[in-house]
Structure 1
């Protein structure tokens, strides 16, 4: 190995780890954490900075790194993997991923145990544990129909542990709405992988219900989330209903995994759009002093 190649190797390893962490999906963790801050009536709080930093590469490498380690068989069959939608790892990378997950997460865990209220830390451990055991045995929620979808409600938990970390009261309708929204989105996104999961013997909610049944399942949960969001913000509820309705109707019209794959970019954009609609009036109100 040349000197130039040796000096570039750490950078390439970091780039690889970032790819494994699926940065296009970081919005699901960072965005929820920021909304959790805004819902306390603050534009930002330095006390929350370590939590937001944890919700970037460290936490996403934890959940998606573990996922890739245990899904090597199905990922090998999945044409989406190896792209921006997710990595396709090699067996020789497992050790590196495991060590990297530990190195970037353990310092945060130590800090949180010392600096944050016990209730916040307990919810954060639950948050991490659910996603680890979504992929890892013995629980491996991914292979359990309905539990796979329901377990992804955990994506909403920053709306609980961020306020707890700041000594504030969570906005319960927003939390409940995002719990329901996350259940719907997980099942909907899994439609595109029905054939690969079925071939690998993995019985997800989407495999069990099929594309049409999954559209109904997700649509019902998105309706619940719309009602709960309406308690907090009518514009957010309206945008949620519009995008969810478009996704569900298009899948019902042509209920196939291929349709699920074509709709995936809109599904990925969904939290960006809804988050912008939620965040703009919140930040405006905070800046203008409309919130205590």
Structure 2
């Protein structure tokens, strides 16, 4: 034993730091753009640079909610992740069975206080959308519904990624820009199926029939392309330049997969797919910020 200045506290701090780093890795920070990015755009769509009332929701959309999405996913995907060469990297963690309890506790500790506070402080429509958001992503990975293993439901359930465009305006007492929200829902359906192409072999070997497994690479390219066209039309109702950028990047992804429809091509295209929301979202954000600064309307 040592006093408060000895090695034991340093060891405890080091262990706590390692645990936090592990949980952050499991939350896949490279994909936080899909939650926090949508939340920020939602604020700007209300016509203001920032509203402090949105801050608790925006904080929740960082580590807490992404840990809920991907932590729960990793807990129930251990079999497929064990043979997936992408896992254990920036593209996702490969967890150990001994970590399951820690992950589930961390998900609860980081999310339940926010959800309880939202129930007390936010308007009913905002809290309903928040609860739907959380429930869909738990059901995506966890039995008995486990949308991930149900073709069509796996892809369609990812429309929930657009819910920050609904949650934030309702939280601020504003009306969502529905063309943007529904457009992002269509975009998210497309992207989920497209990204799953690279995992077709691992999912099929594990007995998981995703939309990508059912459709195959070529069929998935056509499925995703159709949804990206829908998103482009809806985005055009809000911003023609954003719609054009969306169509350009989606077109590159779909055409390249159609030219070489294999899981390997899906994996090679994954970095561009990950960059897609960063590019299109940044472009949309810049246009919105310019509009706000210059006093334009949404």
- Please state which band the TM-score falls in when normalised by the shorter chain: over 0.9
Helix, strand or coil at the partner of 1:28: helix
TM-score, normalising length: structure 2: 0.96
Q: What is the aligned counterpart of 2:47 among 41, 44, 62?
A: 41
Deviations 1:178-197 (A, max 9, x none): 01000000000000000000
For the residues of structure 1 that align with 2:47 and 2:12, how far apart are their CA atoms?
48
Shift of 1:5: 3.3
Structure 2 gap segments, 5+ residues each? 2-6
Q: Match for residue 229 of structure 2?
A: 223
Q: How far, CA to CA, are the matches of 1:31 and 1:6 in structure 2?
A: 34
Q: Which moved more, 1:1-10 or 1:265-274?
A: 1-10
1:106-255 to 2 correspondence within 5 Å? 106-255=112-261
- 1:19 counterpart residue number: 25
Aligned pair 1:263/2:269, yes or no?
A: yes
Q: Distance in 2 between matches of 1:195 and 1:175?
A: 33
CA distance in 2 between counterparts of 1:7 and 1:181 reads 42
Work out the CA distance in 2 between the residues paired with 1:29 and 1:152.
12
Q: Paired residues, what number?
A: 292
Structure 1 stretches lacking a partner, 5+ long: none
Shift of 1:284: 1.1
Q: Distance in 1 between matches of 2:201 and 2:174?
A: 45
Cα distance in 2 for partners of 1:125, 1:250 equals 38
CA distance in 1, matches of 2:68, 2:181: 23
Deviation by residue 1:109-136 (Cα, 9 ceiling, x = unmatched): 1210111001100011001100100000
Superposed CA RMSD: 1.1
Q: 2:74 aligns with which of 68, 73, 79?
A: 68
Separation (CA, whole Å) in 2 of partners of 1:240 and 1:285: 20
C-alpha separation between the residues in 2 aligned to 1:291 and 1:153? 27
CA distance in 2, matches of 1:216, 1:57: 33
Q: What secondary structure does 1:105 align onto? A: helix
Q: Which moved more, 1:276-285 or 1:181-190?
A: 276-285
Distance of 1:276 and 1:57 partners within structure 2: 21
Deviations 1:83-104 (A, max 9, x none): 0000000000000001111111
Structure 1 segment 84-103 matched on structure 2, within 5 A = 84-103=90-109
2:290 aligns with one of 262, 280, 284:
284
Counterpart of 1:9 in structure 2 is 15
DSSP 3-state at the match of 2:237: helix
TM-score, length-scaled by structure 1: 0.98
- How many angstroms does 1:218 deviate by? 0.2
Which contiguous aligned blocks of 4+ residues in structure 1 show a shift greater than 6 angstroms? none
Q: Report the Cα distance in structure 1 between the residues aligned to 2:69 and 2:181, rounded to whole angstroms.
A: 21
